Amino acid sequence: MKKFQAEIDVMPKKEILDPQGKAVTGSMKNLGLAEIQNVRIGKHISLEIEAESTETAHNKVEQACKSLLANLIMESYSFELHEV
């Protein structure tokens, strides 16, 4: 069995309003950081997974994202896997 580390980003879809991001964009201005625009806030998830192969690990992480980590109606996900 090999051990992999997955780094997953779950972000609100582009066409979905992100009120938390909007609020942070506004706060940037108050902090003197008006150059910062279009803040969007999502989740970052790191996890460890044991699997026979990279392909199996990839499939398991896909399954975890689809069934638990991301709400596919409002969010999209992407991830990277590396062996540890």
Q: Does 67 bind a second copy (CB under 8 A)?
A: yes
Q: How many CA atoms lie within 13 A of 65 on its CB side?
A: 24
CA distances from 52 to 47, 58, 78 (A): 16, 11, 22
Are 61 and 49 a contacting pair, CB within 8 Å? yes
Residue numbers 25-44 binding a second copy by CB under 8 A? 25, 27-28, 31, 33, 35-44
Q: Does 53 bind a second copy (CB under 8 A)?
A: no
Residues that bind a second copy in the complex, under the rule CB under 8 A: 7, 9-11, 21, 24-25, 27-28, 31, 33, 35-51, 60-61, 63-64, 67-69
